[in-house]
Amino acid sequence: MNIEQIKAVVADTPYDFLRKDPRLGKNIILLTLGGSHAYGMEKEDSDLDIRGITLNSKQEILLGKDFQTITDLPTDTAIYSFNKIIELLTKANPNTVEQLGCRPEQYLYLSEIGKELLANRKMFLSKLCIHSFGNYGQAQLRRLENKSARLTSQAEYERHILNSIENAFFTFRERYLTCPEESIRLYLDDSSRPEMEKEIFMDVHLKHYPLRDYANMWNDMKSIVSSYNKIGKRNKTAMTHNKLGKHMAHTLRLYMMCIDILEKEEIITCRTEEHDLLMKIRNGEFLNENRQPIPEFYEILDEYDKRFEYAKTHTALPELPDYKRIEEFQADINERVIKGEIYK
């Protein structure tokens, strides 16, 4: 479907909730494409995903309430509240950051407030994307390796696990009591186990630390390790329906998007320049006769991984987003809602 056909679909009956739900309607500030259509990687049979942002009501703002997200499963639509999207963008959440980097024609609706948000999108960019995209990318890579049953070296496999845990550690500071530097140290070293060349080891030096926080951190690390050692129902389904090529393309796209943020300080959701490569991957041209990724795909992936490693150590982005500017922007919009100035 082209953009005019998509607009016609969204104007039809199945999407009436966008116009009739009191939390939506005139409160919507941004409506755009999600999924493959947003990335420029759609095929004729691709599902249409719609993403958007709607303002919180005066009552919600004054009472500190928030519905957060409105989802409509039949149409694959997700609309975030303004306060929730600000929270997620500040944390560099990949699924919401991409809403700020679509091509102009991909925005099905954009209010004046929506335009203000796009104009100020760089205030959300920081090195946090290294960890948010890193966590997401590593999770995608784990699923990809499980799906393809790729025979990586044991040491390389262990390194992926360690990288995932290190990315998770960055989020611990938001959820658990911060522990001193070097109090928990993880590293690779030679293993004494006959089936392993390398193994993750840990040095722990904690005093007077909450047991529940430590138990939760341990469970998080255990979950990451376990996810590498099993193929879940979702993975089996993907293999059965020949979706491995799509997954391979989206894994690579994550690298591309994060590298742009780090190097160019730009959010580029629609991958126009890499379109042909990504579509070849998605269409299975990098799979062998057994529907397994060929070595050339991993060579491309490894090259982007190297670019990502270089970009994250040389980026000019700040460690953290511009919290002051973000809070002032959020407060200004919510104040205008309370005063009834938004729709004048």
pLDDT for res 183: 86
Please, what is the average pLDDT of the chain? 87
Mean pLDDT over residues 329-341, rounded? 95
Is the predicted pLDDT of residue 151 greater than 80, yes or no? no
3-state helix, strand, coil in the chain (%, to 5): 55, 10, 30
pLDDT for res 138: 63
Q: Model's pTM, two decimal places?
A: 0.74
pLDDT for res 178: 74
How many angstroms separate the CA atoms of 190 and 315, rounded? 33
Mean pLDDT over residues 239-244, rounded? 59
Which one has a higher pLDDT value, 151 or 169?
A: 169
pLDDT for res 140: 67
Mean pLDDT over residues 273-282, rounded? 96
Between 31-35, 243-247, 332-336, the lowest mean confidence (pLDDT) is in 243-247
Which one has a higher pLDDT value, 156 or 48?
A: 48
pLDDT for res 232: 41
Mean pLDDT over residues 66-94, rounded? 95
Q: Specify the 3-state DSSP secondary structure of 74.
A: helix
Confidence of residue 137 (pLDDT cuts 50, 70, 90): low
In degrees and rounded to multiples of 5, residue 293 shows phi and psi of: -60, 135
How many angstroms separate the CA atoms of 161 and 81, rounded? 35
pLDDT for res 239: 44
pLDDT for res 240: 44
Between 137-141, 188-192, 273-277, the lowest mean confidence (pLDDT) is in 137-141
Mean pLDDT over residues 13-30, rounded? 96
Mean pLDDT over residues 140-156, rounded? 60
Is the predicted pLDDT of residue 169 greater than 60, yes or no? yes
Residue 82 CB neighbour total at 10 angstroms: 23
Confidence of residue 242 (pLDDT cuts 50, 70, 90): low
Which one has a higher pLDDT value, 182 or 190?
A: 190
Q: Confirm if 286 and 304 have CB atoms less than 8 A apart.
A: no
Confidence of residue 269 (pLDDT cuts 50, 70, 90): very high
Measured between alpha carbons, how far is residue 112 from residues 44, 99, 163, 288 in Å? 33, 16, 41, 50
Confidence of residue 234 (pLDDT cuts 50, 70, 90): very low
Between 17-26, 32-41, 172-181, 282-291, the lowest mean confidence (pLDDT) is in 172-181
For residue 336, give the DSSP letter.
H
How many angstroms separate the CA atoms of 125 and 270, rounded? 18
Mean pLDDT over residues 243-253, rounded? 87
Is the predicted pLDDT of residue 67 greater than 70, yes or no? yes
